[in-house]
Chain A
Amino acid sequence: MRPSVLEHGYGVGPKLLFRLIRLMSGRPAPDAAKITFYRPDFYGAHVKKLTQEAMRGPSAWSVGDRELMAAYVSQLNACPFCVGAHTATAARAYNDPERVAAVLADLDSAPIAEGLRATLRMLGTLTREGTLTAGDVRTVLSAGVSPAQVEDALAVGFAFNTTDRLANAFAFEVLSEEGFEAGAAYLLKRGYK
């Protein structure tokens, strides 16, 4: 990671934890996990709570739907680390890798519910253009999505618009397919806490 303090600047506790993770899992802790332990009072502790609430808190969207939103937003932000991580997590949550691949290849023709498709389109507009109109939201509501679901999707968008930028700026190391699979299993079992 860059700047180099993000590779080497951790205290004794986090260093011990990273060694333990390597020992238990046979893999180094992913950079996305490591960074939340760097000066956690500034960013990591706060963002974990918000991400956990957005991705695993109460919502009419399933965990798979929210992980798919994360993968989709990350693809638009051209963030290879997050696309890999959340494609694997969505695929595992749905137990349906083909559905996730179809959405990322062509949202218009993917075999998903119209409400989810409309919501992903809305997140795409927001991510690409940086803003949304009331008309954009009305289109989603008229596809049968509730206002609370729109708000929940916007929170997922916030979490990943932030994480994607940090992953790219701090140069998170992209994992192997097996590494992303292991990360997906962890995120489904333990969440973002």
Chain B
Amino acid sequence: MAAEDTKRWLHQRLVDRIRQGPGQAPAEQRRAAFDNAELPEPLRALLDKVATRSAQVSDADFAAATQAGYTDDQLFELVICAAVGESSRQYEAGLAALAEATDGPEAR
């Protein structure tokens, strides 16, 4: 059980770092990217693709965001937030299903 706890802890630390730690994009915007919600265009177009169909992300998506004034470093942060956000929702859904299937997280 210890190894599983370590992974959950490392996951939470990563999530906290990218959402709340220092960054060049405002924390509020990083959280919106993580949640894939309430993003202005053209960020929404880029980050929704990252979250839901990453193979379709194109140079044009980045060019549109750059033209709107986002720096490379801001886009680096926001793309990471979008990717980790979607993966985290899946991870947490999986852990919740496991907890339900084993009748609570203590039933190991």
Partner-B contacts on A (CB < 8 A): 2-6, 9, 38-39, 42-43, 46-47, 49-50, 53-54, 57-59, 77-79, 122, 126-127, 130-138, 141, 146-148, 150-152, 154-155, 157-158, 161-162, 164-171
Contacts and interface: CB of A to CB of B under 8 A. Distances in A.
Contact of A3 (B1, B76, B86): B76
Contacts of A167: 54
Contacts of A137: 94, 97-98, 100-102
Interface of B: 1, 3-4, 6-7, 10-11, 13-14, 17-18, 21, 23, 49-51, 54-55, 57, 59, 62, 66, 72-73, 75-77, 79-80, 82-84, 86-91, 93-95, 97-98, 100-102, 107-108
Given A3-B75, A78-B55, A157 B94 contact: yes
A157 B90 contact: yes
A150 B87 contact: no
Contact of B102 (A47, A57, A147): A147
Contacts of A148: 1, 3-4, 108
Contact of B11 (A50, A164, A165, A170): A50
A165 B72 contact: no
Contact of A77 (B14, B54, B76): B54
7 contacts: A43-B14, A132-B97, A134-B100, A151-B4, A154-B91, A158-B11, A162-B84
Contacts of B86: 130, 161, 165
Q: Is the interface of B mostly helix, strand, loop or mixed?
A: helix
Contacts of A127: 90
Most buried by B among A133, A167, A170: A170
A39 B77 CA distance: 10
A134 B101 contact: yes
A162 B18 CA distance: 13
A78 B52 CA distance: 11
A158 B90 contact: yes
B43 to A, nearest CB: 13
Given A58-B3, A126-B94, 12 more contacts: A3-B72, A42-B18, A42-B77, A43-B80, A77-B54, A150-B98, A158-B87, A162-B83, A164-B54, A168-B50, A168-B55, A168-B57
Contact of A165 (B59, B82, B94, B95): B82
Contacts of A38: 76
Nearest to A130: B90
B3 A152 contact: yes
Given A148-B108, A169-B79, A154 B95 contact: yes
A169 B57 contact: yes
B34 to A, nearest CB: 12
